[in-house]
Every structure is written in structure tokens, then in C-alpha cells.
Structure 1
């Protein structure tokens, strides 16, 4: 229960639900006792009348019918009230568990959002989703059904067993004898069911993953004519899923026969031992009927002990997994709420960056300055550290050594929220949400206006494409923007950044999927728009950054050159060599044979 103690704060928050639910449990058990007692009285009344009839004495049938009618009303009324309070019990305890589930999911989701990027590089999306869905659902089963039935067991045993002992201790012991065995058997069968259910869930997860990958990569599958191959893979996975499901069904098939056998055994013992006691004159036939009803009242609570124990074990394991993430402290936090006004100057001072999860050194003693209102190009081959510079500027990571100054202030000391609100970022992948094009462009705006959205699309050279769509700006782009081409996705992401009209643009190789003519047109539009803004253009193509006020050249995580395009060409160094290679590659004739 160590890990489940984390939930105590939620249980205390909804303590009145649980206390009220416990009261309703007790009341429902009390009303469940009345039918047993009045059925005993009914049997005894009928038995008395039979003895009077056999002895030839006068029988008042009118009194008998009135008495039995009254008993029937009490039995029916008690049953209705028991059902009503059982409903109230569920409406308090189960509702509380649902609210705790809601609160816990929100806490996990909000905590996920605070965690640093290194955490997401280390953990898979599937694992994150599983902990916020499957694991929380198992925890809810502990807070709801397990707590409810646990309370029910304690209250029922505390009320019913003393009553049974007061009637006949001997019969009570015989009646209760199979019930611990029943609980023990159910516990072990439940354990076996849980183990095999875990296997089934894993196989189902594998099957779902294979289906998701197939549908996501359907273009590649069709291009390589691999439909039959993937159909065979899916059939094998389905067969394996069916095989493990059959094992689970075999265990499930044992469950109810075992339960019914042990319950039936308790009933037989009640009738047999009760009959012997009745013949000996120590009990009445009404007592036997009463005990059978008490047995029915005890059967499910005692049976549920094994089931509840199993639920608690599963919840403990799930809460341990949840706690593992909840106890992960974010490495990047907002250090202050003090307002920060960004003007646009950025300085890297001897910055070294080693990724904590992989140990790869992405930047090595990098220093440069970006002045406000200037356009700076960052160029280098793949793996030179360009995107790491952007990640550090966004403070998605903190540098291993050195520091980054924003308008003279260490980035680790300023209001991160205010700073990021002044940035317009277009990452390499240009992630789009499964929503309309309009909403994707307006994503960074609190109060979007049509004119801002349309003008941003025009600057990104996207407006004409959007208006060709049947639904225009209300066209839904599908999951991760799958309905758009690569260039259209990049330009939509660019329009999203432009719509914010930020103080600084960080364009991380965001035009790699468009042709050079469109790229030139977009860059001209951006330069006109960003006359007062600072712009960092990251690219491996020199055509994207040749008109920048300053160009920074990276190679293997080091700054090897800085200057304007012409200065670097005249220097005849690394940049000039890159430029010459790209010019020759672009001018090389295509062999049509």
C-alpha cells in the first residue's frame, strides 16, 4: 500500500463522499437483515398453524393471512430500501472514484506538460499514454469498487455474523467453513486471470501498433507492393492474440463453476446441519431459511475479498508506475514571475551542450552574438549542431557549460513565459494538429482575427493553395497534417509563427520542402515583415541565408566562421567550399538516358 498512499490527498478531498457511502453501506446491510428475520417469522407462523391443524385445534386463517401480508410488506419494503441505499452507496463512493480519476489524469497531464524534452526523448509516447489511461483506470478500481466492497465486507461481517452466532454457533461455523476457501480460490483464480489478461493486453497492444504503423505507412507499403507481406504479419499477430485469449477464456470458464460449487456446498451444509438441529429441537425451520438468506448476504462480500485483494495489487503496481513519472522533477522551470520585456539581443558565451540521455556533444565552446533587428543565418552540414542552437535559445535544454544571455540577462533567470511569447518558432518537422488550417495558423493567438490569419498565409505563400481547397481555410488537415504536402505543411507552420508578429523569428530549416523560387519569395516577404524583428534562419542550404546580415558557420558543434556572405566567400574557407559544392550540384545537368 506504500505507493497507493499517494492517493490519500484525494481520498481526504472527497472524505464526505466516502463517509456518507460507508453510512449507506451500513443502512443497506441493516435493511438486508429484515427480510431474513421476517422470513424466519413467516416459516414459524406457518409451522405453528400446521401443528394446530394437525392437532385439531381451531385456526384463525384471517389472522394468519394478515400476519403473512404484513411480513410480506416488510420484506418487500426492506428489499426496496436496501436497493435504494445500495444505489446511494454507489452514487457516493463510485462517483468519488470517478472524480479522483478525473483529478489524477489532469494532474498527470499537467505534469507531463512541465517536463523537459530529455524526458520525452527517453520515454515512448505509448508508455506515456498507457500510464495516463490504463494505469489510472486500474487505480480507480481500487478507489471505487475495491474500497466500496471492502467497506461492504467489513460492515456485513460485523453485523451479520454476531446475529448468526446468537442463533446457533454450531450452524454458523458450518455455514462459514467453505467461505474462506471460496475467497482463497477466487484470489488465486483472479491472479491467474490478471496475469493472462496482461499477456492479452500486450498482444492487443502489439496488434494495434502493427495496424497503426500499417495505416500510417500505407503509401510506402503500396509503393513497395508489400500488402501481402503486412497482411501475413497481421494474420500472425492475430493468431497469437487469439491463442493467448483462449488461455484466458479457459481460466474464466473455471471461475463461476468454482464459485457456484462452494456456494452450493455452504447451502447444503446449512440445510443438512440446520435440519439435524431442527430435529433435535434446537432450531426451527424458519432458522434454516433465515441462515440461507444470511449465507447469500455473506457470499458476495466474502467472495469479493480475493477479488479486492487482486485489484489492490494491480492498483499498487499501476500507482508505482504513475508515481515514477509524477516524482520526476522538470529540469527546466520558470525561475521568476517578474515581467520581462524582450528587445532582441542574444549572446552565446562559450556554450557547450552534451545531451544527457545520449551523451552526444552537440555544441563545443560556441560563442556568437545576434543583435536586435538583424537577420542571422546559421548554416552547417547535417549533425553540425544547428537545431541544438535553436533548442537552447528556446530553453528546451540548459547548456552543459557556458551561458546564454538575453538582452544581457542569463536565460536561466528571466521569465520564461514572457520570453517565449516574443518568439515565433518554426521547427524542422512543422508539426500540425488534427484541426482546420485556420485553427492551425491561429494556434499561437489568444484572440485570432481573420485578417491576421489571411495575411500570414499570404506572407508564407500559402493563401492561393488554401483557397483552392473545397473548404478553404476550414479544411481539416488530418493527423499530423497528413492531407497536405510537405511544402504546404512547412508553410502552414511558418504562417502560424508569422501570425504572432513576434519580436524574434527562429526558422529551423523550415523551407527545405519548397523549391528555391518559392523559398526566395517567402524570404523576401519575411524580410519586409521583420524589419524591426530579429530573425535567425537555420538551414543547410546557403541559398536560404546568403542575404542575412551575418552568417554563422557550424561544423561538428564548433563555430568555424562568421561574417556576411561576401566576406565568407572572399575568405575562401569552409563556407566558400560549401557554397561551391551547392552551386555545382544545382548546375549539374541531368542525364536523361
Structure 2
């Protein structure tokens, strides 16, 4: 239960609903017990009335006596019906308090987890899969809700009904109570073990279904590749195999489920037979009336579900504790990316990087080694290097997705860790290498970083990114809905929409992380020409493996294996005839051969 203690703050928050639920449960159970007593009284009344009726009938007063007896029987029937209706009303109230409370807590937990997820650094997402993150906020939270709702509801019912019924049964007939309750512990243990089997097989089904869903998602996401390589039949066969596995596991669960109600009914039947037999002996000996047997049979049936639910509730609590442990594991993760001074100020764009080194915490790979450079306000820096040279790492550090292992990054003379993180990122426009667009309209994707969407700003950003004409040619223009990850657009269009999204927020610092890799040379030149005006009076950093993207920068640094091996502008670097000049010549020749 220890992992579930964390939920006590929510139980305290909704204590009003819980207290009402307890009150309604007590009242509901009172209306369960009273009908059983009424049945006993009615049966005893009928038996006694029958013994009186015979002499009255012989004396000629049979019809009058019958009318009186029937009136009392009708009264008993009406009272029992009223009790049942009242119990139903209070059962409704129980669900309106306890189950609604569990839904409210579920809502709070999901919001807490999602909010916490967003505060965690990129290193957290590098070591944890998306599927695992989603499972904890969906399936695990649902299991915890089962503990907060049904488990608490049935647990309270058991704690309240059991003492009430047992106490009353003992006051009526202690011996018959003992015999009537003999099978119930066996029933509870049987249900507990059956439930464990059900849960174990349900877990396997869930994993199988998860694998099946992942397979289908990948198949549909990669449908172009499947068709291109003519693998449709193989994919269908793999799906059939996965479906067969799911089917077999489902059948095994169904077989176990089939044991559930037969076990309950068998043991209830045994309890009823014992009650009738022992009660019958006591009736014969004159110790009790016929009505007591009927009353005890009703009590046994009343206790059947609470006792049955004991095994079920125990299983729910176990599963909830395991799920809450998993949830707590991520909630206990702390972000090391924190602001020391929470400075909120309009930045101008001067960036200084001094002796910057960085080792990825999850892999231990050293991405940067003693890198230093300076960009003055309004200047453009080009960062050139091959794959794995550490270019994107610099972008992540400037965005403060990570903190450097050693060295200092300063913005306008202040260490970057002194700025309020959200305020800093709000003033930086970032175009990632791996473009991600949301399943929303093109206009909303471009306006993603703007607090108040303005059509003029969106259109101008699209023009500056050279994607405006493509957008207006769509039937719905900026209202065109994009598919998953922007699949509606081509690779080049997605990158240009991503650039427009960064421009639209009018950032003080603009970081382009190899964002022109999916466009041809002609489009690249058009975009760069348009960006000249955008980058004017704005600090810009162009990261690329293509020299053509960075040649217009005020200064250029060349990275290799995390180190700065060359620095200067395009002309000076060409004169050095080093790595930069060699890359430029190779890429120029490659471009000419493609054109030919």
C-alpha cells in the first residue's frame, strides 16, 4: 500500500465526496437488512395465520380472516418494495459520490503527470520510450482509478455491511450463523486465486494488444515503404500471426473467466443447503420459526458479493500499487535544468560561448570539446561540420535543452542559466533538423509559437520561408489540415513551414539547425535570400553540413569531432584551403554534376 499513500492528498482534497459516500453506503445497507427482517416476519405471520385460519374457517369466519391476512401480506410486500427502491436510490448516490470522486482524481493525476513530463529535460526522453510514457499516463492511471473508485466503494460496502449483517445474524441465532458462513472464506480465497489468474492473463493480452497496435501503427505510417518494396503480403502475414497470438491469449482468459460465476454459485448453493438443513433441524426441534431460515438465506446472498469482491478488491489494490509505483518513478524524476535567478528581460542577441564541453549523460559520448565563439547582436554565425561533429548539440545547449558539462554560455553578458527558461526560449526561434508538424491546420502550425494568432504575421512568415505560394494552391489554403507528422506535405514544404513557424514568433535569436537539407539548391538560395532580410538586425545561427547555407554568414566555424578546427568568414576560409574549402569544392562539383 505504501506507493498508494501518495494519493492521500487527492483523497483529502475530495474528502467531502468520500464522507458523503460513506453516509450513503451506511444508509443503503440499512435498507438491505430491513427487507430480510420483513421477509422473516411475513413468513412467520403467514405460518401462524394459517394455523389460526383453519378453526376460523370451520366457524364460518374464513372469508373475513382471509381478507385481513391478505391485507397484512400486501403491507409487507409494499414495505419490501419501498426498501428496495430506497436502496437503489442510495446506491445511485454512492456512485455519484465515490465513482465521480475517482474520475476527478484521475483527471488531476493525468494533469499532474503531463505537466511534470513537460518540465523534464531532453535527457529523460532520450532514455525512455514514448510508448512507456503513454502507458503510464493512460493504462497505469486507469488502474489507479479502479482503486480509488470501485475498490474503495466495494471495500467500504464490505466494511459496513459485513459487521451489520453478522452482528444481527448472531443476535438472531449464533449457531445457524456459524454454519451459514462456513463456505464464505473458501469463496473469497477461490475468487482471489481466480482473479489473479484473470489479471495475469489480462496483462499478457494487454501486452499482446500493445504489440499488435504498434505493428499496425508502423504499417500505416510506413505504408509508402511497404508498397514501394511490395511487402503488403508479408505485412499481412505478420499481422495474422500477431492476431493469432492475441486470439489464443483471449481464449485462455475466457476459459478462466468461465470459472468465476460457477464457483460463486456453487459455494452460495452449498451455503444455502447448509442453512436449510441446520435451520430445518432447529425448526423441527422448535428452536426457531420458518422465517428465520428464509432470513438467513437472504443474508447469505447479501454477503456473497462483498465476500466475492474481497478477492477482487485485493487484486485491484495490488495492480494499482504496481501502477502507482511506475507513476511515482517518473514523478520523482527531477529536472536539472533550473533557473538560478529567473531573469525575465528582452534579450538583444549577443552570445558568448567559452570553453564549452558536453558529454551526453545517457550515452557517455563527448559531443563537444572546448568550443568557444562569440556572436555580436545582429550578426550571423555559420556552423559547418559533418554528421556527428556536434553541430546540433550546440543548438540544444543554446536552447538550454541541456546544461554544458564544462564551460559557460552567456547571452547579453549574463550566464544562460540565470534566465527564466520559458522566457529565454520564447525569444529564440528554432528550426530543428528533424521537422515535426502537428496534426492541425498549416496556419495553426505556423502560429504555434505566437500567443495571439495574426493572419498577417502568418502569411508574411510563409512568404519569407518561400512556402506561401504552395499553401495558397491548396484548396483550403492555410486551413488545410495536415496528416500525422505533416505527412500531407513534401519534405521541403515541411521544412519551410517549420522555418515559417520560427520566423512568425519574431525571435531575437534565430537558430536554423540543418533545416535546408531537404530542399534543392535553387530553393535553398531563394529561402536564404528571403532570410537575409529576416536575419538583418537579428542574431542568427545557421547550422549545416552544406557550405552553401553558411557562406553568407558574418563568421563561420568548422567543427570536427566536437572541436573547432577552423574559423573565419567565407573568403578567409577559402584562402586557408583547409577543410572548409575542401567541403565547398566537393559540394560545388556535386551540385554541378547533378545539374548536368
> SS in structure 2 opposite 1:538?
strand
Q: Secondary structure at the match of 2:354?
A: strand
Distance, in Å, in 1 between the alignment partners of 2:138 and 2:420 is: 33
Matches within 5 A, 1:476-515: 476-515=481-520
SS at match of 1:16: helix
Deviation of the 1:62 alpha carbon: 2.9
Residues 429, 589 of structure 1: CA spacing in aligned structure 2 closer, same or farther, 3 A cutoff?
closer
1:475 maps to 2:476: no
SS in 1 for 2:176: helix
Corresponding residue SS for 1:477: coil
**CA drift at 1:453:** 0.7
1:45-99 residue CA offsets vs partner (Å, 9 max, x unmatched): 1101111134457552232222222212211111111111111011100000000
Residue 457 (structure 1) shift = 0.5
Give the CA deviation at 1:526.
1.2
Alignment of 1:440-589 (within 5 A): 440-588=445-593
Match of 2:214 among 191, 209, 212: 209
Task: Name the structure 2 match of 1:368.
Answer: 373
Quote the residue 1:37 is aligned against.
Answer: 37
Deviations along 1:78-133, whole A, 9 cap, x unmatched?
Answer: 11111111110111000000000000000000000000000000000000000000
How big is the shift at 1:554? 0.5
1:397 match: 402
Per-residue CA shift, 1:341-378, capped at 9, x if unaligned? 21101111111100000111100111111111001111
Within-5 A mapping of 1:77-96:
77-96=82-101
Contact 1:335 1:416 in 2 (8 A): no
1:412 has 2:417 as partner: yes
Distance across 2 between alignment mates of 1:313 and 1:499: 51
Aligned 8 A contact 1:334 1:417 in 2: no
Q: 2:126 aligns with which of 113, 121, 124?
A: 121
> What do residues 202-232 of structure 1 show as CA deviations (whole Å, max 9, x unaligned)?
1111111111111111111111111111111
Gaps of 5+ in 2: none
Partner of 1:297: 302
Computed over aligned residues only, the root mean square deviation of the Cα atoms, in angstroms, reads 1.2
SS of the residue 2:49 aligns to: helix
| Cα pair 2:31 2:86 within 8 Å, conserved | yes
Return the alpha-carbon distance in structure 2 between the equivalents of residues 489 and 40 of structure 1. 78
Query: For residues 471 and 565 of structure 2, what CA distance do their matches in structure 1 show?
Result: 42
Q: 2:225 is paired with a residue of what secondary structure?
A: helix
Secondary structure, aligned partner of 2:439: coil
3-state SS of paired residue (1:588): helix
1:436 alignment partner in structure 2: 441
Q: Offset at 1:293? A: 1.2
The residue correspondences of 1:372-387 to structure 2 (distance < 5 A) are: 372-387=377-392
Find 2:231's aligned residue among 226, 251, 267: 226
SS in 2 for 1:369: strand
* Secondary structure at 1:397 match in 2: coil
Match of 1:307? Answer: 312
What is the correspondence of 1:33-432 to structure 2 with a 5 Å cutoff?
33-55=33-55, 56=58, 60-432=65-437
C-alpha distance in structure 1 between counterparts of 2:85 and 2:221, whole Å: 55
Distance 1:501-1:470 versus aligned 2 partners, 3 A rule: same
Matched, 1:2 2:2: yes
TM-score, normalised with respect to structure 2: 0.98
> Hey, what's the Cα distance between the residues in 2 that align with 1:548 and 1:103?
49
The alpha carbon displacement at 1:590 in A equals 8.0
Contact 2:508 2:539 in 1 (8 A): yes
- 2:47 matches 1:15: no
- The CA distance in 1 between the partners of 2:116 and 2:595, in whole Å, is 54
Q: Count matched residues.
A: 591
Residues 31 and 81, structure 1, Cα contact 8 Å, conserved in 2: yes
Cα offset for 1:589?
Answer: 6.5
Counterparts of 1:447 and 1:302, CA distance in 2: 58
SS of 1:366 mapped into structure 2:
strand
Shift of residue 16, structure 1, vs aligned partner: 1.2
| In 2: Cα distance, 1:212 partner to 1:489 partner | 21
Bigger Cα displacement from structure 2, 375-384 vs 407-416: 407-416
Corresponding residue for residue 28 of structure 1: 28
1:278-304 per-position Cα deviation (integer Å, ceiling 9, x unaligned) = 111111111111111111111111110
- Contact 1:39–1:286 (Cα < 8 Å) also in 2: yes
Assess if the C-alpha contact under 8 Å between 2:342 and 2:418 holds in 1: no
Q: Over residues 517-559 of structure 1, what are the superposed CA-to-partner deviations in whole Å (9 max), with x where a residue is unaligned?
A: 1111111111112211111010100011101110111010001
1:272-328 CA distance string (max 9 Å, x none)? 111111111111111111111111111111110000000000000000000000001
- Counterpart-to-counterpart distance in 1, 2:306 and 2:6: 27
Q: TM-score, normalised by structure 1?
A: 0.98
Task: Give yes or no for contact 2:359–2:367 (8 Å, CA) kept in 1.
Answer: yes
Distance 1:590 1:523, change over 3 A: closer
1:228-279 CA distances to partner (integer Å, 9 max, x unpaired)? 1111111111111111111111111111111110111111111111111111
Instruction: Say if 1:504 and 1:534, in contact at 8 Å, map to a contact too.
Output: yes
